[in-house]
Amino acid sequence: MNDMIFTAIVIAVKILVVLAVTLGLGAYLTWYERKFAGHLQARRGPTVVGPFGLLQPLADGLKLMTKAPILPKGIDTKLYYMAIMMALVPAIMLFAVVPFGPSFKIMGHEVKPIVANLNIAILYVFAMGSMAAYGTLFAGWASNSKYAFIGSLRKAALIVSYEVVLGFAALSVILLAGSMNVFDIVDSQIKSGIWYIVYQPISFVLFLFCLLAESGRVPFDIQEAEAELVTGYNVEYGGMKFGIFPLAEWYLNVLALCAIATVLYFGGWSGPHIFGPFSGFIWFLVKTFGLLFFVLWVHWTLPRYQAKDVVEFAWKYLLPISIVNLVATAFFVYFKG
């Protein structure tokens, strides 16, 4: 009985921590991105609200919350609301299988800093990743606007193309680790002392392409395309209903996929113990934010490609490369041992 209460408390604390970390970070990533983009373009970014503009996300949130609730004419009301849920819920659910650090002990119980230690974690990531496409599709279909509809169809085309490549890219890592559990994958990297990016550089590059495409970052942001589609699928949403879409897609999805990439290719929390007892957690965050920094850098540097180019690129180049990479990895694992 005592054990059950302990487990319940642990799960509640984990969920609270995940929600606080993801929503707080998600909000503050908007500040970070604007600041970053500003300095990249020889501007200063937000400076007015608070020191260094640090209170800007709070001001933005307040502003979004107090906007008038508008339902556009001729929308499909059920789908209109469901789209918001389908965008936000899978984006947060991705964090359920992110291991934030090594397991530790509290009161004689071993606690793993992960909400759900699934044995099919990577498969679960793909499931939730493709669920996010429904949010976009529903939003575009329900809003009764052609801009939104075109944007959502483009996004769907992009996601279905890169989903396949993502699967093949991650398969070669699973082949090396022999498990889909995130803890097993990280442990096998720590045990051998070599991160999988050394064995799988091609797979990592493919994963990076898919990360950018799935989260709608430049150069794959054809569904946004400010110049031609205004902002694409969420043009008819307003207030907090609008605020959820960029939060889920641009920040939470990117953060979650960066964390998964860290687990798959950069050895998760492995690293020298130079930060005391929390060094595992700090290393994990450092690696994740390093990847995030790269994503933002790419976003604010490159131009946008046409929908035609990026979709054909996925099927005609990335998919054959990923299949060849998988076969090569299978050969490697078979003849190594």
Partner 1 sequence: MAYIGLLSLLAVMLGLSVILISLNWLLGPKKKEPYKTYPYECGVPLYDDTAQTTFHQGYYILGLLLLLFDIEVAYLFPWAVVYNFLGVFGFIEVFLFLVILTLGLVYAWKKEALDWQFDLESL
Please identify which residue in 9, 19, 20, 198 interacts with partner 1, judged by CB under 8 A.
19
The shares of helix, strand and coil residues in the chain, as percent rounded to the nearest 5, are: 70, 0, 25
Q: Is 149 in the site for partner 1 (CB under 8 A)?
A: yes
Contact characters 207-246, partner 1, x per CB under 8 A: -----------------------x----xx-xxxx--x--
Q: Find out whether the peptide bond into 201 is cis, omega within 30 degrees of 0.
A: no
Looking at 177-185, 215-223, 266-274, 287-295, which segment touches partner 1 (CB under 8 A)?
A: 177-185
Token reading at 192 = 């051998």
Please identify which residue in 39, 43, 78, 308 interacts with partner 1, judged by CB under 8 A.
308
Please identify which residue in 26, 30, 45, 96 interacts with partner 1, judged by CB under 8 A.
96
Dihedral of alpha carbons 42, 48, 53, 59, sign: negative
Contacts of residue 68, Cβ cutoff 8 Å, sequence gap at least 6: 238, 239
Token reading at 245 = 């879409």
Nearer to partner 1, 178 or 290 (CB): 178
**Nearest Cα to 235, choosing from 153, 299, 151, 306?**
151
Nearer to partner 1, 125 or 296 (CB): 125
Please identify which residue in 5, 48, 51, 66 interacts with partner 1, judged by CB under 8 A.
66
Please identify which residue in 278, 293, 297, 315 interacts with partner 1, judged by CB under 8 A.
315
Q: Is 168 in the site for partner 1 (CB under 8 A)?
A: yes
Give 266's DSSP letter: S
Largest CA distance in the chain: 64
Cβ-contact 266, 287 below 8 angstroms = yes
Looking at 143-151, 206-214, 254-262, 279-287, which segment touches partner 1 (CB under 8 A)?
A: 143-151
Q: Is 117 in the site for partner 1 (CB under 8 A)?
A: yes
3-state secondary structure of 182: helix
Cβ-contact 239, 68 below 8 angstroms = yes
Kindly state the smallest distance separating residue 274's Cβ from partner 1, in Å.
31
Q: Is 59 in the site for partner 1 (CB under 8 A)?
A: no
Please identify which residue in 106, 160, 194, 302 interacts with partner 1, judged by CB under 8 A.
160
